[in-house]
Chain A
Amino acid sequence: MENTQLFFNFVPWIVFFPVLGLLLNLTIGKKLSENGIGAIAVLASASAFVVAVLQAYSLSIHPEGASILVAEWIHVGDLAIDWTFRVDTLSVTMMLVVSGVGTLIHIYAIGYMHEDVRFHNDEGRFKRFFVFLNLFIAMMMVLVSGDSYMMLFVGWEGVGLCSFLLIGFWYDFDTLGRPSFANSNAAKKAFITNRIGDFGFLLAAFMMFWQFKSTNFDNVFAVVANAEPWVILWITIFILVGVAGKSAQIPLYIWLPDAMAGPTPVSALIHAATMVTAGVYLVTRSAPIFMLSHDAQYIVATVGALTAIFAATIAVGQYDIKKVLAYSTISQLGFMVAAVGMGAFAAGMFHLITHAFFKALLFLSAGSVILGMERGHHHLAHHGHHGGKHDEEVFDPGDMRNMGGLRKQMPVTFWLYMVGTVALAGLFPFAGFWSKDEILADAFLEFPHVYWILTGAAFLTAFYMGRQVWMVFFGKPRHEVAAHAEESPLIMTAPLMVLAALSVFGGALNLPGVHTLTVWLEHTIDIHPGEFNMQVALISTALALFAIFLSWLLYMRKPLTTGQPDPLKRILGFAFTGMENKWFVDEAYKFVFIDRYTDLAKFFAQTVDWDFWHEWFHNSVIAAGFVGLTKFLANPIDLGIVDNISKILARSIQYSSENFRKVQNGFVRSYALSVMLGVVAIIGYLLIK
């Protein structure tokens, strides 16, 4: 499908622009100011966005799409992997989201990174941050534009690397700016957990190559219908493992909350809006495979739904403003995975887009809140309210228990946050309402149990968002710092306003009856517009309102005071302890996997390697054997045989010479006797002979 019409040929620049940006920053970034570095990065990302828009325009005229070959890569036997850009409605949708939201976050990051508490005018770090961000955009573009599973995997690993680099960006400080390895540990946790998912992805790709002799999307989808059921089931299960790793689903979701150790723009861009949705994109891309196996759809949808409600319960019990959003992200990813799992690909993609808008908005606003708190803290420290007190007591600007009443200090952020909250809670007519209801409506028809679980998760979503808003922005400041918090500058709030607008009007992408997005995606995936289900919409809206009312009862009617325990603790008791502590999943994993693994490693290191190889084998076999051999060679062989041979030689010579000496006595007569004896002997010999 070589289609070079319109702007299709231009598509490789969607990767080249960000790469160009990062190369520029790498080479001349040292000479530039912070704003210069930021401008280059933003321009690179914005250029990618322009390319994406051009592709969308081209597609609107030629919806069949195009494949643009950039380079032949690996050709070995049957294996043929080329760097080909696949332009179709699905990939371009992802490109628009990634570059669009990405550009806004780039702009925000210029302001944010300048003020980060750990950033002490370190120009090198500032540059490095934007190099990583651009690299991420480039890798994400490789991921969404690849035309084979292997090219997708290249991007998949690339974004994983960027995720690792950016989670551990402050590798030498923890989130509070103290020297610590906590962040680099979080980065390692994310990377290692993702390796498990990547292993599943690779197995799926290998299996495709084994069965279909290709990993190219078109080739695989052309023959997959003839494959045996077990092949399809295993491929889908392996893909699900990959999705669970990258998109933070049960049981591999544990890395995402820790990933909040990264700077907040990273949390927004990578760990909420774009990278973590790669799994959803992967399932959508593999739609022809998943459509063939009802079992696979059932499993994926159930995993997604369980993740959605499980993470939502944890989000209820968190106190860190970013942790709540992190678990909310896992929960929303569960919604998307459940949607694409049950074949509602349009709904899943729709939720992916709207979620990218409002979750990026929420994260960035949360970053604005945190920086506002830090400004308040700074202000207090400088005006000597505490004296030296703040040095002893480490203040956590992200802890919601320290906030309260920020509505007055940070009005812009407050309103932006409210938009995001309402969109996430799924209230009419915000973006989240449309996308979430489409998922619920599809689930209602396909898998009723998924529908009920997701409805419960939606209820919890509204509740924890209500709790967060009441705790952060309403009531009275629970800490001196909160009373002195300051609003963020325009460079941070302006991108948020754009995201807020998108969160409000994003629902228009796929309104019931019009189905713009579904029709758009129909060119790529075999889907049909769903029906709008008024009953489902009413139930979920009513539940969301009820949840917000409940949270109002608990957190707003009698606002929390300083040091007061969470009111839910009294009501839910042990259950809330579980929520607070993430249901002890990390501890359980530590006990079941990490400790056992450590035990195994210890066993190998101590028992096998040290005790057996070093102590026993080395000492008893090698050393002792060598000593024994040398002793054997020294004592019986050298001393016994070799020495004795020479001694016997010496003695016999000594003995014979002693005896022969007597012959030479100087007496002529004895000589004469010898002569005569000799003559007699010779004559005797001659006679006898």
Chain B
Amino acid sequence: MIPVNYYLTLSVVLFSMGALGVLIRRNSLVVFMSIELMLNAGNLAFVTFAKMHAANLAAVHNGQIFVFFVMTVAAAEVAVGLALIVLIFRKKQSIDLDQLTHLKG
């Protein structure tokens, strides 16, 4: 059986790749995808821990149920986020994040 550490390491790597993508990339679609990557790294950690605590039924369920919640939220987020990106593109003819500095005031 593959040890838990491997899963967790993969999860960390995925999360880090996602975080880096969010921080480094300028294309908001890519940023979006990186966010998905981070969410799925989290999901991976959840299921890993659920598997790790296989003896505790409640823990298994909690971990796996959380994954579904995360997926649902991610789907909803994508719906809203993509809609925002479309609107921003319409307005600015660009989805480059560095162009969006309105928050600076």
- Which residues of A line the B interface, CB within 8 A? 664-669, 671-673, 676
A666-B103, A676-B23 are known; give 15 further A-B pairs, CB within 8 A: A665-B101, A665-B104, A666-B100, A666-B102, A666-B104, A667-B97, A668-B31, A668-B97, A668-B103, A669-B31, A669-B97, A669-B98, A671-B103, A673-B23, A676-B19
Q: Of the candidates A664, A666, A672, which one forms a contact with B23 in the assembled complex, judged by CB atoms under 8 Å apart? A: A672
Provide the residues of chain A in CB contact with B19, threshold 8 Å.
Answer: 676
Provide the residues of chain B in CB contact with A676, threshold 8 Å.
Answer: 19, 22-23
Provide the residues of chain A in CB contact with B101, threshold 8 Å.
Answer: 665-667
Provide the residues of chain A in CB contact with B26, threshold 8 Å.
Answer: 669
Provide the residues of chain A in CB contact with B31, threshold 8 Å.
Answer: 668-669
Provide the residues of chain B in CB contact with A673, threshold 8 Å.
Answer: 23
Bound state CA distance, A279 and B105, in angstroms? 111
Chain A nearest CB from B40 CB (Å) reads: 17
Provide the residues of chain A in CB contact with B100, threshold 8 Å.
Answer: 666, 668
Bound state CA distance, A672 and B19, in angstroms? 9
Chain B nearest CB from A661 CB (Å) reads: 10
Closest 10 CB pairs of A and B: A666-B104, A666-B101, A666-B103, A673-B23, A672-B22, A669-B23, A668-B97, A676-B19, A669-B97, A672-B23
Query: Can you list, as one digit per residue, whether each of B91-102 has a CB less than 8 Å from chain A (1) or not (0)?
Result: 000000110111
Bound state CA distance, A667 and B98, in angstroms? 6
Can you name 18 A-B residue pairings with CB atoms under 8 Å?
A664-B104, A665-B101, A666-B103, A666-B105, A667-B98, A668-B97, A668-B103, A669-B22, A669-B23, A669-B24, A669-B26, A669-B98, A671-B103, A672-B22, A672-B23, A673-B23, A676-B19, A676-B22
Bound state CA distance, A233 and B48, in angstroms? 130
Provide the residues of chain A in CB contact with B98, threshold 8 Å.
Answer: 667, 669
Bound state CA distance, A673 and B102, in angstroms? 18
Bound state CA distance, A664 and B22, in angstroms? 18
- Nearest to B98 among chain A residues (CB) is A667
- Nearest to B28 among chain A residues (CB) is A668
Bound state CA distance, A190 and B104, in angstroms? 103
Provide the residues of chain B in CB contact with A666, threshold 8 Å.
Answer: 100-105
Bound state CA distance, A266 and B76, in angstroms? 132
Chain A nearest CB from B29 CB (Å) reads: 14
- Nearest to A665 among chain B residues (CB) is B104
Q: How large is the interface on B (under 10, 10 to 19, 20 to 34, 35 or more residues)?
A: 10 to 19
Bound state CA distance, A664 and B24, in angstroms? 18
Provide the residues of chain B in CB contact with A664, threshold 8 Å.
Answer: 103-105
Provide the residues of chain B in CB contact with A671, threshold 8 Å.
Answer: 103
Chain A nearest CB from B82 CB (Å) reads: 16
Chain B nearest CB from A672 CB (Å) reads: 5
Provide the residues of chain A in CB contact with B22, threshold 8 Å.
Answer: 669, 672, 676
- Nearest to B19 among chain A residues (CB) is A676
Chain A nearest CB from B87 CB (Å) reads: 15
Chain B nearest CB from A69 CB (Å) reads: 107
Bound state CA distance, A667 and B28, in angstroms? 12
Bound state CA distance, A672 and B103, in angstroms? 13
Bound state CA distance, A671 and B23, in angstroms? 9
Chain A nearest CB from B16 CB (Å) reads: 10
- Nearest to B100 among chain A residues (CB) is A668
Provide the residues of chain A in CB contact with B105, threshold 8 Å.
Answer: 664, 666
Chain B nearest CB from A233 CB (Å) reads: 110
Bound state CA distance, A671 and B22, in angstroms? 11
- Looking at B31, B100, B103, the one whose CB has the most chain A CB atoms below 10 A away is B103
Bound state CA distance, A671 and B105, in angstroms? 14
- Nearest to A670 among chain B residues (CB) is B23
- Nearest to B25 among chain A residues (CB) is A669
Chain A nearest CB from B57 CB (Å) reads: 27
Bound state CA distance, A111 and B47, in angstroms? 146
Bound state CA distance, A102 and B26, in angstroms? 133
Bound state CA distance, A669 and B102, in angstroms? 13
Bound state CA distance, A297 and B31, in angstroms? 135
Bound state CA distance, A664 and B31, in angstroms? 20
Bound state CA distance, A669 and B104, in angstroms? 13
Provide the residues of chain A in CB contact with B24, threshold 8 Å.
Answer: 669
Bound state CA distance, A666 and B98, in angstroms? 8
Query: Can you list, as one digit per residue, whether each of B28-52 has a CB less than 8 Å from chain A (1) or not (0)?
Result: 0001000000000000000000000
- Looking at A668, A671, A673, A676, the one whose CB has the most chain B CB atoms below 10 A away is A668
Bound state CA distance, A672 and B32, in angstroms? 13
Bound state CA distance, A555 and B65, in angstroms? 159
Provide the residues of chain A in CB contact with B23, threshold 8 Å.
Answer: 669, 672-673, 676
Provide the residues of chain A in CB contact with B103, threshold 8 Å.
Answer: 664, 666, 668, 671
Bound state CA distance, A672 and B100, in angstroms? 14
- Nearest to A668 among chain B residues (CB) is B97
Bound state CA distance, A669 and B30, in angstroms? 12
Chain B nearest CB from A683 CB (Å) reads: 12
Chain A nearest CB from B47 CB (Å) reads: 20
Provide the residues of chain A in CB contact with B97, threshold 8 Å.
Answer: 667-669
Bound state CA distance, A668 and B24, in angstroms? 11
Chain A nearest CB from B1 CB (Å) reads: 27
Chain B nearest CB from A658 CB (Å) reads: 15
Provide the residues of chain A in CB contact with B102, threshold 8 Å.
Answer: 666
Provide the residues of chain B in CB contact with A665, threshold 8 Å.
Answer: 101, 104
- Looking at A666, A671, A673, the one whose CB has the most chain B CB atoms below 10 A away is A666
CB neighbors of A among B46-82 (8 A)? none
Chain A nearest CB from B76 CB (Å) reads: 20
Chain A nearest CB from B72 CB (Å) reads: 22
Bound state CA distance, A58 and B7, in angstroms? 149
Provide the residues of chain B in CB contact with A672, threshold 8 Å.
Answer: 22-23
- Nearest to A672 among chain B residues (CB) is B22
Chain B nearest CB from A84 CB (Å) reads: 108
Bound state CA distance, A668 and B103, in angstroms? 9
Chain B nearest CB from A659 CB (Å) reads: 16
Chain A nearest CB from B104 CB (Å) reads: 3
Bound state CA distance, A407 and B74, in angstroms? 155
Chain B nearest CB from A174 CB (Å) reads: 101
Bound state CA distance, A441 and B5, in angstroms? 153
Bound state CA distance, A676 and B35, in angstroms? 12
Chain A nearest CB from B92 CB (Å) reads: 14
Chain A nearest CB from B24 CB (Å) reads: 8
Bound state CA distance, A669 and B105, in angstroms? 16
Chain B nearest CB from A657 CB (Å) reads: 15
Provide the residues of chain B in CB contact with A667, threshold 8 Å.
Answer: 97-98, 101
Bound state CA distance, A672 and B24, in angstroms? 10
- Nearest to B101 among chain A residues (CB) is A666
Chain A nearest CB from B88 CB (Å) reads: 11
